[in-house]
Amino acid sequence: MSSSERTPDPTRRSERSRRSILSAAFELVSEVGYGKLTIEAIAARAGVGKQTIYRWWPSKGAVVLDAFLARGESEQGEIRLPDTGDIEADLKAVLRPTVEELKDPRYDVPFRALLIEAQTDPTLTAQIVERLLEPQMEATRERLRSARRAGQLAGDADLDVAVELLFGPLYHRWLLRTAPLTERYADTVVELALRALRPAGRD
């Protein structure tokens, strides 16, 4: 038995508080909407003092972003795309759940709110890109790299643009509401993007 199990562990207690705050934020943003969400309400639901939240997060947006990311941690661990050898199937296996998530009010409402906040808060924007969007894009890029090594994509395919060719049309339809966002749409986007990226002469 290590000494840390015999004495109270402040790190562990902090971690419990952190998790309570993030769960409370995630639940509340769905219940009351982002605009009406307050740090006071999050503190009350989490059973902590308001000052605890202010000590760890600079803004409401920062708490909600962490609440989002904490969801990801518990559900997915590190982001990694399947690699079955079939690049089309593997990309569809990522874009379809992304569509489902964007349509799920538990994600749609707070994620939209975060992106609204980000438009006028450059620090939050940078955090969203670095911690929420980039890991997903990098995992996708990694899967595309593997397909390129296998000769399934053109050797000179620009993978930075490729990932935005995949996610861009999804976010465009979701954020601008140009038309209904469906799994069929995600599939078509994958199929078109792959035609764009395959080696010359192969369709």
- Rule CB under 8 A: is residue 115 a binding residue for a second copy? yes
From residue 5, how far is each of 9, 46, 130, 149 by CA, in Å?
8, 25, 35, 49
Residue 192 C-beta: closest distance to a second copy, Å: 4
Q: Give dist(CA 199, CA 203) in Å, integer.
A: 8
Q: Rule CB under 8 A: choose which of 45, 92, 112, 131 binds a second copy.
A: 112
- Rule CB under 8 A: is residue 12 a binding residue for a second copy? no
**Residue 115: exposure state from Cβ atoms within 10 A (0-12, 13-18, ≥19):** middle
- Rule CB under 8 A: is residue 181 a binding residue for a second copy? no
Q: Rule CB under 8 A: choose which of 84, 105, 160, 180 binds a second copy.
A: 160
Structure letter (DSSP) for residue 130: I
Reported for 167-172, long-range contacts at CB under 8 A and 24+ positions apart, including other chains, are 167/95, 167/98, 167/136, 167/137, 167/140, 170/95, 170/98, 170/99, 170/102
- For a second copy, which stretch binds (CB under 8 A), given 8-16, 21-29, 143-151, 193-201? 193-201
- Rule CB under 8 A: is residue 37 a binding residue for a second copy? no
- Rule CB under 8 A: is residue 155 a binding residue for a second copy? no
Which parts of this chain interact with a second copy (CB under 8 A)? 35, 112-113, 115-116, 118-120, 125-126, 128-129, 133-134, 137, 158, 160-162, 164-165, 167-173, 175-179, 185, 188-189, 192-193, 195-197, 200-201, 203
